[in-house]
A = this chain, B = another copy of it.
Amino acid sequence: MIKTLLLAGGVGGARFLRGLSAALPPDQLDVIVNTADDDTFHGLHVSPDVDTLLYTLAGKVDRTQGWGLRGDRFDTMDALAAFGEDVWFRLGNQDLATHLFRTAALQRGESLTEVTRRQREALGVSVRIRPMSDDRVRTIIHTPKGKLAFQEYLVRDRARSDVLKITYAGIRAAKPAPGILETIARADLILIAPSNPFVSIGPILALPGVRGAMRKTRAPIIAVSPLIGGRTVKGPADRMMRGLGFAANPSGLVSIYKGLLDGLLLDQKDQQHQRGLLADGLAVACLPILMNTAAKSRHVAKAALSMAAALRSQPRKAV
């Protein structure tokens, strides 16, 4: 039995996981999800990336936007707006149940790991999707106008600000969730989803012990690029890469993940970078990586698993 571990953020992670979970039995697949963009809205603990993965695997996600629940309405938000509340982070009626359930459980003293387990059971999701930590970590976006919580930067301000620096408040005191380091150590294959390397994958890697466990593993580590022709499908990762001094291309991505990767899946539109990456010792596959259908998600997942099968007989490169 080959144990596969996926590190994932929200929409990109969900699109890839949709294909991966179709290709692997659920007991061979673990997913560690970013929670550094969790935030509190109207007193409710919202875990956007966890929810996006759960809703996607449950077949309930709003496919057009990639997050939230299909067909959800916004009666509660509209009524909150009438009370003068700021409702730029709009939570649907049914989606609210997720946050009410989570918040009440956390207030009773349950861990985020435990709540997430109960939520995936209720949603019939058999893949072990787990939050990266039970402790609160917050991605802070430093802009010319000051610091913003990630959701303020992304949702409220629509990612319009320049990004000078990104920090993870609380990361030093945070512990990886129970079992996370063991799951990394025991994995036969580690995949990094095509999620934002700074705000989705970065916090997971920055947790004490995680990067060390990833460097020590003999399992190949393969990333799927979030770029297509040097641009992200969705979200500000490309602009963040440029703003933070990286090239917005696969070489820039490898620099961000420095010392970790054995393989990289690129989009065909970034094929010109393949030669340089191969020269660095990285395994590279070029294919269409836009995953806007379930079939395309499966195709990308299978390409990652094929590359892994080839790499597992070789010593790690960790480029």
Q: Is A97 a contact of B122 with CB atoms below 8 Å?
A: no
Interface of A is mostly: helix
CB atoms of A80 and B107 under 8 A apart:
no
Asked if B97 and A80 sit within 8 Å, CB to CB, the answer is yes
User: Which residues of the other chain, B, contact A78 by a CB distance below 8 angstroms?
Assistant: 94, 97
Contact status A98-B79, CB under 8 Å: yes
The answer to whether the Cβ of A315 comes within 8 Å of any Cβ in the partner chain is: no
A82, A100, A101: which has the most chain B beta carbons within 10 Å?
Answer: A100
| Complex contact B94–A76 (CB within 8 A) | yes
Q: Taking the full assembly, how many copies of this chain does it contain?
A: 2
Contact of A100 among B80, B82, B95, B122 (CB under 8 A): B80
Q: How far is the CA of A107 from the CA of B43 in the complex (A)?
A: 8
Q: Do the beta carbons of A101 and B83 come within 8 Å of each other?
A: yes
Residue numbers in B under 8 Å from A79 (CB-CB): 93-98
Q: Is the CB of B103 within 8 A of A43?
A: yes
- Chain B residues within an 8 Å CB radius of A73: 73, 75, 93
A-B residue pairs, 5 tightest by C-beta: A79-B97, A75-B93, A43-B104, A79-B94, A80-B97
